[in-house]
Structure 1
Amino acid sequence: MSAIGNVLWLLLGGFFMGLGWWLAGLVAFVTIVGIPWGKACFVIGQFAFLPFGKEAISRQALTGQEDIGTGGLGLLGNIVWFIFAGLWLALGHVGSALVCFITIIGIPFGIQHLKLAGLALAPIGQTIVTKEVAQAARQQSAEAVVAGLRSGR
C-alpha cells in the first residue's frame, strides 16, 4: 500500500516539494555555515519524495538519550532554521495540502503535507525511520515510563 501511495504522491505534487527541500539543501551548502542544515534538507527531501511507510521521530524518543540536536543547541538550530528556510518550506507544504484537500482522494496526501509542514518548522533533532521502528520506539519508551512509575522513581 505504501508503494501505491508513494507513486500517487509523486504524481500529485510531492515531487515538487522534494525538489524544494533539495534546493534549500543546496543553498545551505553554499553558505558553508549551513552544511548541517543542508544535510538534513537532503534527508528530509528524500522523505518528502517518498513519505508513505516512513515517519519522522525525535532521536531522543528513538534512542532514549539526549544528543546535540535534541538539547539546547538543537533548539537554537531550529530557531535559525525557522527564520531562514523552515517557514518557507512549511508554507509550501501547507499550500500543497490545501490543493490536495480539494478532492476526497487527495485528503491523505494533504495530511502528509501537513506532517511535513510541521517537520519543516523544526527538523533538527528528528530522524526518519519506518513506521514500524517508530512504533516500536514509542512502545519501549512507554514501557520504560510505566516501569519507572511502578518502581516509584
Structure 2
Amino acid sequence: MQNLVCPISDQRVNEQITRLNAMLVIGIIVLAFVLNSLSLFVFLMADFFIRAFTNLKFSPISFASHSLSNALNLPIRMIDKAPKIFAARLGFLMTLAMFLLFIFSFKITAIAVAAILIFFASLEFFLAICAGCLIYTYLILPFYKK
C-alpha cells in the first residue's frame, strides 16, 4: 500500500465527512434495492455527480455527513481532496451502470456492481482506505507513464 499513487491537489477535505459519506452511500444502495427504487439510484447518481463534477461546497449526502459530524463532535482530520473527487467519479459511473442495469432488468448484474461499490465504500468507512487510489495506481496511471 506504500507504493500507491493518488491524484493530488491543493484542496483539502475532512476525512470524517468522506467516511460518513461512504456510510450513507452504503445505506442508500441497500435501500434502493430493498425498495426497488429508481429514484434512490437517481438521487445517488446526482449526488456523486455534484461531488465529482461541480464546485458546489456540498452535495445532499455530504451536507448530511457534515451535519452528522458536527452533531457527533467528530475531530477534524484534513486530507487531500483529489482522490475523493476521483472516487466520486468512479461512484458516479458505477451508480449509472447500476441504474441502467436495473431499468433493463439485469438486476443480478446491477447487484454485482452494487456489491463492488459497497465494498469500496466499506473500505473507506471502516478502514479509511481509498479504493480510488488503488484503481488510479493500477488501472489509470500505467496508461500515462512513458
Give the TM-score of the pair, scaled to structure 1: 0.34
Structure of greater Rg: 1
Give the TM-score of the pair, scaled to structure 2: 0.35
Higher relative contact order (CA 8 A, sep 6+): 2
